[in-house]
């Protein structure tokens, strides 16, 4: 395992071109944790949340993932407070399609008029004229997918959205989505300990679609005393979280991990994972450990 010192560790993760024309550093930041309990309301320490966002950019992160449902809207407004006016290379990806009746409560709503309203609100809350990547947060089973993505494609034609993505889909749903609009990203649950979306990742890689794994650091049982990540961590001087992220970056060139945290120190640790380069044997041993 080799490391390379740099003041911009996220740059070491390499780049990916969303839609073939929007370049981001592969190790990004997921802002969901910058809210209150249950992903509801203001964060416990709003000033620290601002510091986290600003520090992420200082570390070379230029891909930040959020959603209108985080807060709701608290997350988007916090990003604007911390980072507006935005750097030219900063890509803010947001999502719509889930309503929030209360803490920990998530309900799909893919009605076209609702999605249009949410896009307009996100533009306002983020202080943007165009959202670089807008993701359908969940497919609403009560609304035809053609209606959901059709409305987003119309907003794209109107210049309010640049690229479109989907979240938590099967391969079949992703293929169907691509018949309705150009899809440049998919965001599914995926990590070293949970690879249930392996088929979606393989399809995304074959089609050069960005794969954004949410909940990327699920070390859990793997990091227990004597576990594979615990042993590797002691041997190589990298934390279990860093090894889990390094594994994701190595797993596929279309992988864009977005680890989230509400603390600057943890952010710095996560971002330094881009400096960790696994050997073939190390990658294989971690892969086989689950």
**Core vs surface per residue 73-110: b (16+ CB within 10 A) or e:** bbbbbbbbebbeebeeebbbbbbbbbbbeeeeeeebbb
Q: What 3-state DSSP class applies to 65?
A: strand
* Beta bridge pairs of residue 210: 185
> Can you read off the two tokens belonging to residue 174?
């992703």
Q: Quick one: which of 94, 113, 109 has its CA closest to 28?
A: 94
Counts of helices then strands in the chain (DSSP H, E): 10, 11
Active site residue 70: yes
Instruction: Single out the catalytic residue among 70, 86, 134, 190.
Output: 70
Listing DSSP states for 118-133 in one string gives HHHHHHHHHT-SSEEE
Active-site residue set: 70
């Amino acid at each position: 395992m080799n490391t390379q010192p740099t003041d911009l560790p996220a740059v070491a993760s390499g780049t990916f071109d969303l839609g073939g024309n929007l370049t981001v550093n592969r190790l990004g930041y997921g802002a969901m944790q910058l809210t209150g309990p249950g992903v509801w309301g203001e964060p416990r320490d709003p000033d620290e949340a601002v510091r986290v966002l600003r520090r992420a950019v200082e570390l070379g992160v230029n891909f930040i993932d959020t959603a209108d449902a985080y807060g709701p809207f608290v997350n988007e407004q916090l990003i604007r407070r911390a980072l507006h006016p935005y750097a030219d290379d900063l890509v803010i990806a947001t999502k719509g399609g889930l309503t929030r009746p209360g803490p920990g409560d998530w309900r799909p709503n893919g009605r076209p008029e609702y999605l249009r309203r949410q896009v307009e609100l996100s533009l306002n809350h983020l202080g943007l004229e165009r959202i670089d990547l807008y993701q359908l947060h969940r497919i609403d089973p009560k609304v035809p997918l053609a209606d959901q993505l059709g409305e987003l494609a119309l907003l794209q034609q109107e210049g309010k959205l640049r690229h479109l993505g989907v979240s938590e889909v099967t391969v079949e749903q992703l293929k169907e989505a691509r018949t309705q609009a150009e899809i440049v990203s998919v965001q599914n649950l995926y990590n070293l300990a949970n690879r249930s979306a392996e088929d979606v990742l393989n399809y995304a890689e074959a089609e050069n679609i960005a794969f954004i794994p949410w909940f990327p650091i699920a070390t859990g049982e793997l990091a227990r005393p004597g576990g594979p990540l615990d042993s590797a961590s002691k041997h190589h001087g990298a934390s279990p979280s860093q090894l889990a992220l390094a594994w994701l970056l190595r797993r596929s060139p279309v992988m864009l991990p977005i680890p989230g945290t509400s603390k600057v120190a943890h952010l710095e640790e996560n971002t330094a994972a881009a400096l960790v380069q696994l050997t073939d044997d190390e990658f294989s041993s971690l892969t086989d450990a689950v």
